[in-house]
Amino acid sequence: MNEPTASFQTPLEAARQRLDLASPREIAGLEHLELVARGVVEGFLIGLHRSPYRGFSAEFAENRPYNRGDDLRYADWKVYARSDRLYIKQFEEETNLRAYVLVDVSGSMDWVSDRERFPTKLEYARLLAASLSLLLMQQGDATGLVAFDTSIRAHLAPRTTRLHWRRLLGKLGELEASGQTEAGTALKDVAQRLQRRGLVILISDLLVDPETTRTSLRFLRHRGHEVLIFHVMDPGELELPAAGEAVFFDPETGDELGTNSAALRKQYREAVETAIAGWKREALRNGAEYAFLTTDTPLGLALRRFFRKRARLG
């Protein structure tokens, strides 16, 4: 009697079955960021095509879906022959909009409460930025990257090509968390660079000066740009541990504070809830989109928040 043959998969092959629904901790440990991002987006699009949502292209940035009135001289007939769908060859100056993904690389983004269960906030932000940039460029949106703490640490101007996306991934892979945070500088810098309709996506734990950041966000909206904020927190930041005596450490300043955590749990939880509600209220007041995420949230759920925003932009 023949015994069944065992089937073996590499960790990446196993995870790619639906990377968009996988544990962020598991996929953050995979080495090849490009394959991981493609797996996340592929899984997301599979789920999207099975849902009521329609109209999201899976072709890369050089093509966009045909719209009535488009010049058929620029139709991509090879793609039409493979997919029975009509796409127009996309030239960079014809892209739908310019987009910037802003990633906070301050010291607090490197903090994690449980390394066995969660990625750091920066690891999560890196995965999210890689997946978002791929989705944007698949839609024909020129996409750039800004990494910041108190100043700009990395910058890539928006482009739409495959080579540009790989360069963007290279920059993401080099990012290291350090220093304090000042989001206002990065937001104002991007506002000056975007000369026409743009989309700004901010990925940060928002441990920033609230008023400076909100002023910069209002400035972006005043100039006509769309804004999407991904507020990323570690699950351990939502609640203090039940233990008694504890020492709290600020990774950005190095300051320490000894206290009894049990006595502060209720006040701390209320303060966190107030801060989250405040950011959401301020975003809505200024016409921005706000999404709260913890680092155990599957990336597919985050991409759905992005998709709803992008769909409204046309």
What are the tens digits of pLDDT across the range 109-166? 999 999 999 999 999 999 999 999 999 988 888 999 999 998 899 999 999 898 999 9
Last residue of a domain, one of 89, 112, 128: 89
pLDDT in tens, 50-74: 554 444 444 444 566 767 666 666 6
Alpha helices in the chain (DSSP H): 11-15, 24-28, 33-49, 77-83, 121-138, 162-174, 183-193, 210-222, 261-285, 299-313
Mean pLDDT of 23-40: 92
Domain that holds residue 50: 11-89
The one-letter amino acid code at 59 reads E
Question: Which domain CATH number covers 145?
Answer: 3.40.50.410
Nearest alpha-carbon partner for 143 in 306, 312, 265: 306
Q: How does DSSP classify residue 297?
A: S
Same domain? 121 vs 191: yes
Same domain? 153 vs 293: yes
- Whether the model pTM is above 0.85: no
Last residue of a domain, one of 59, 89, 119: 89
| Residue 193 CB contacts under 8 Å (≥ 6 apart), including other chains | 100, 144, 157
- Angle between helix 210-222 and helix 183-193 axes, rounded to 10 deg: 10
State how far the Cα of 191 lies from the Cα of 199, in Å rounded to an integer.
10
What is the pLDDT at residue 195?
78
pLDDT in tens, 152-201: 999 999 998 989 999 999 999 999 998 888 888 888 889 888 878 799 99
What is the pLDDT at residue 85?
77
Same domain? 196 vs 308: yes
What is the pLDDT at residue 17?
65
Q: What percent of the chain has pLDDT over 70?
A: 75
Nearest alpha-carbon partner for 173 in 298, 30, 44: 30
Last residue of a domain, one of 54, 89, 124: 89
The total number of structural domains that make up the chain: 2
Same domain? 152 vs 263: yes
Residue 87 tokens read as: 């796409």
Same domain? 142 vs 55: no
Does residue 45 surpass a pLDDT of 90?
no
Same domain? 23 vs 100: no
Same domain? 242 vs 307: yes
How would you list the strands of the sheet with 152-159, edge to edge? 152-159, 142-148, 98-104, 198-204, 226-233, 289-294
In the chain the first and final C-alpha atoms are separated, in Å, by: 60
